[in-house]
């Protein structure tokens, strides 16, 4: 005779308070994505999955969330093309089918992502690592499930402080004027690349993806790299190192500049997205001469961003 185990989770709690998010964190899976490349993209993403919990129910049926992740990922393995934000959306739908009591479900995914690039001078092929992030959140609305999904990336680059560079330039100008005239000094100033302190920049862009639209993570990565003083590269010979350092010092920028650069490029590339599309842009610069780090962020709809850009 089979044992019938009770659903303790369905009991009423002693303290009846609605909980915003309950679920699991750190569920790892293997995922293969094919997009017409010579080789498939292999990811080992980590998922966090949550639902809300009514005040009259003691707990969620916890195993149903990783079960939903497993079912959707296994089905995705057999498909030739899939976007990771759509994968998260499918997991949300499956979770809401399994958690009938939930009014909201949310799935977050983060994964290392390898892409190939060439070093700037020697053109050596190098594997570069970055992070892909995706999210989907669903709500029950009069019997329907409405889902909003987003895709993004977190990319490491290099920034050069413009303030310190100007200070160095002015100090050197004074020294040059001790033995050169004003015109010659200015020629030197215009020719020489001046030193500054550097930061390792970490840029993040997350863009909501409406239905019937596609936002490629590879394009987001390019936007982030182009918005800093210079991209960085895993494999560099001395000519490559020189090129990156020179390039970075010719394009100094504050943490605030990086965020504004990303916003401008997002508008240039994605102005066709609906006005209510939510965009998150973030930059952290890990300082080299301070113990603290610098931070800047912009969160706004596409309509708000376009309005600000047009006003400048």
Query: Would you say residue 37 has pLDDT above 60?
Result: no
> What single-letter DSSP state applies at residue 92?
H
Supply the pLDDT for residue 97: 92
Q: Lowest-confidence range among 79-93, 100-114, 123-137, 143-157?
A: 79-93
In this prediction, residue 76 has a pLDDT band, given cuts at 50, 70 and 90, of confident
Q: Is 80 exposed, middle or buried (0-12, 13-18, 19+ CB in 10 A)?
A: exposed
pLDDT tens by residue, 130-172: 999 999 999 998 878 899 999 999 999 999 999 999 999 999 9
- The CATH class of the 19-161+196-311 domain is alpha beta
pLDDT tens by residue, 207-226: 999 888 889 999 999 999 99
Please tell me which of 17-26, 80-89, 303-312 the model is most confident about, judged by mean pLDDT.
17-26
- Long-range contacts: 17-22, Cβ < 8 Å, 24+? 17/55, 18/52, 18/53, 18/54, 18/55, 19/52, 19/53, 20/52, 21/50, 21/51, 21/52, 21/106, 22/50, 22/51, 22/52, 22/53, 22/59, 22/60
Please tell me which of 4-13, 74-83, 277-286 the model is most confident about, judged by mean pLDDT.
277-286
pLDDT tens by residue, 247-291: 999 999 999 999 999 999 999 999 999 999 999 999 999 999 999
The secondary structure of 161-228 as a DSSP string is -HHHHHHHHHHHHHHHTTTS-HHHHHHHHHHSPPP--EEEEEEEEEEE--TT----HHHHHHHHHHTS
């Amino acid at each position: 005779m089979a044992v019938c185990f009770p659903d303790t989770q369905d009991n009423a709690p002693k303290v009846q308070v609605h909980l915003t998010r309950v679920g699991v964190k750190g569920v790892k899976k293997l995922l293969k994505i094919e997009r017409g490349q010579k080789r498939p993209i292999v990811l080992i993403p980590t998922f966090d999955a949550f639902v809300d919990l009514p005040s009259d129910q003691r707990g969620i049926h916890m195993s149903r969330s990783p079960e939903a992740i497993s079912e959707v990922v296994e089905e995705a393995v057999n498909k030739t093309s899939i976007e990771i934000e759509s994968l998260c959306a499918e997991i949300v739908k499956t979770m809401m089918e399994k958690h009938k009591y939930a009014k909201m479900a949310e799935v977050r995914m983060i994964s290392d992502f390898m892409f190939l690039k060439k070093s700037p001078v020697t053109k050596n092929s190098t594997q570069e690592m970055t992070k892909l992030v995706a999210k989907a959140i669903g709500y029950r609305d009069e019997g329907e499930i409405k889902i909003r999904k987003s895709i993004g990336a977190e990319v490491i680059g290099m920034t050069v402080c413009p303030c310190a560079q100007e200070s160095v330039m002015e100090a050197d100008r004074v020294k040059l004027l001790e033995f050169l005239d004003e015109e010659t000094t200015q020629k030197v100033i215009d020719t020489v690349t001046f030193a500054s302190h550097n930061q390792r920049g970490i840029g993040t862009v997350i863009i909501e993806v409406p239905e019937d639209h596609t936002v490629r993570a590879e394009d987001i990565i390019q936007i982030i790299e182009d918005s800093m003083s210079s991209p960085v590269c895993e494999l560099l010979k001395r000519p490559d190192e020189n090129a990156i350092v020179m390039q970075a010092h010719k394009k100094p920028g504050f943490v605030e500049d990086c965020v504004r650069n990303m916003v401008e490029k997002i508008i240039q590339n994605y102005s066709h997205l609906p006005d209510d599309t939510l965009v998150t842009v973030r930059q952290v610069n890990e300082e080299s001469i301070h113990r603290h780090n610098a931070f800047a962020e912009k969160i706004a709809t596409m309509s708000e961003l376009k309005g600000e850009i047009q006003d400048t």
